[in-house]
Amino acid sequence: MDSLEAQSAGLAAAEVSSVELVDAALARIEAADATLNAVVGVRGDAARAEAAAADARRSAGDRRSPLDGVPLLLKDNMVQQGEPTTCSSRILEGFVSPYDSTVVTRLREAGAIVLGRSNMDEFAMGSSTEHSVHGPAHNPWDTGRSCGGSSGGSAAAVSSGMLPFALGSDTGGSIRQPASFCGVTGLKPTYGRVSRFGLVAFASSLDQIGPIARTARECAWILDAIAGHDAKDSTSIPEPAPRVSDALDGDVSGLTIGMPREYFEEDGADPEVVSCVRAAISELERGGAKLIEVDLPHTPFVVSTYYLVATAEASSNLARYDGARYGRRAEGVSDVDEMYRRSRSEGFGDEVKRRILLGTYVLSAGYFDAYYRKAQQVRTLVRADFERAFAQCDVIAGPTYPEVAFELGSKQDDPINMYLSDVYTVSANLAGLPAISIPCGLVRDLPVGLQLQGRAMDEATLLRVADGFQGRTDHHDQRPPGHLGQAAR
């Protein structure tokens, strides 16, 4: 019973209690996390109390949603009142949030139980969870390999069977790439679909919260719970969110799937991964979908555009961490300048410093027009590419990542190579589009993700296609051998 659907059904049938699910999740975390390092904090007693209240409420006939009574993890960059939020960074050690993020409020309204916090790359900057003050999280399929990033802890926890679902954040692929590496389903909604209030900002025009679970159907249930306008977030879409789970009929016939030529001619992609993804798309064709080729001509420029926009915004957002107001403050300083300098130098890791330096440079006098403004202009061209493509198709399909999970440490000395591998994922963030990664097979016994991208505010069609694929295949039912998922079959 390691899936949201199974746990929800068990609770609805009174075959299991929420307290039992919380206790079982805590036991699985204790048993496996010394190996996986996916969880950075649990709230056992508080979660048990909330679970007991949920059991009593449901016994009285008040079942709020399919999430009611089910435990989950939050990525460690979403605040919860009275709980630590560190963004896996030394600079936020000791910080306890005085308020709840909107997603926490909405999860509670849906009856879900927040059990704890998941490991992540520091301030969500990374693709391997190696840039964490807690050390790297490990992939349940092969603990010597990366679980992806920056939401790697969330994906590893779901993949291993610790909990049935988790929330992550996605700025350039940070939900979808870990989902691909760990063989689970991860959804990045349309920008503004889910409130960012209470999400610690990395790049404000790119960040979006989304779910990681076993299936697209489960992701739809979670999105139904957390989506919708929020007056506390000025970038929130000012209209009611549709109930996307109602669109999941298992039928993809009559839909058109676009295959960008640029995604399948990528020189750096593993041919076996591309072949696996092609086979998955062919399964959609057998289900009645039509396949066409589309063009996204500015794809060669998306990585450089993304890393200019994202680092510029990161430089601005992270200026607030100065040791003066909250978080870590350097000791033994003689003046304010030294406090700022040492607090930031000691508090931030190398990857965060690298991105702050790059972002500060591109925003500086004499370089703003040449770099940041130009990147925003290219961003507009990228968005126009997708608009033209979606005039011909309903969903765009391709690989989530150019390779399977790489070995931990193998890319630490080559950050540029790591950045270039984001070529398939960053476009959705630049254009504000919804995108999902779903398991589509194994290459060398490691999971491969199929990425689907949809029109803005059309998560319904995106999830319909993903659910239709999962109704025809069993890749999402595969579990990592030798870990909790194996025992949970």
Query: What is the secondary structure of 165-194 as a DSSP string?
Result: EEEEE-SSSTTHHHHHHHT-EEEEPPTTSB
Catalytic residues, by residue number, are 75, 150, 174
pLDDT of residue 482: 61
Question: Distance between CA 489 and CA 133 in Å, rounded?
Answer: 33
Q: What is the pTM of this model?
A: 0.97
CA distance to 153, 306, 404, 425, per residue, from 177 (Å): 12, 16, 10, 8
Helices in 130-270 by DSSP H: which ranges? 152-160, 176-182, 216-226, 261-264
Architecture field, domain 4-255+436-487:
Alpha-Beta Complex (3.90)
Q: Work out the mean pLDDT of the chain and round it to a whole number.
A: 96
Q: Which of 201, 257, 265 lies closest to 234 in space, CA to CA? A: 201
Tens-place pLDDT, residues 271-287: 999 999 999 999 999 99
| pLDDT above 70: residue 489 | no
Local structure of residue 49 (DSSP, 8 states): H
Quick one: pLDDT at residue 488? 37
DSSP annotation of 20 reads H
Q: Is pLDDT of 483 > 70?
A: no
**Residues 81-101 pLDDT 10s:** 999 999 999 999 999 999 999
pLDDT recorded at residue 326: 83
On the question of a cis peptide bond just before residue 17, with omega within 30 degrees of 0, the verdict is no
The whole-angstrom separation of Cα 294 and Cα 302 is 17
410 to 144, 415, 480: CA distances (angstroms): 10, 10, 22
- Per-domain residue ranges for the chain? 4-255+436-487
pLDDT digits (tens, 9 = 90+) for 218-241: 999 999 999 999 999 999 999 999
Locate 144 and state its tokens: 């010597």
Q: Are 221 and 245 within 8 A, CB to CB?
A: yes
Return the pLDDT at 486. Answer: 43
Rounded alpha-carbon distances, angstroms, from residue 321 to 76, 148, 233, 311: 17, 26, 21, 16
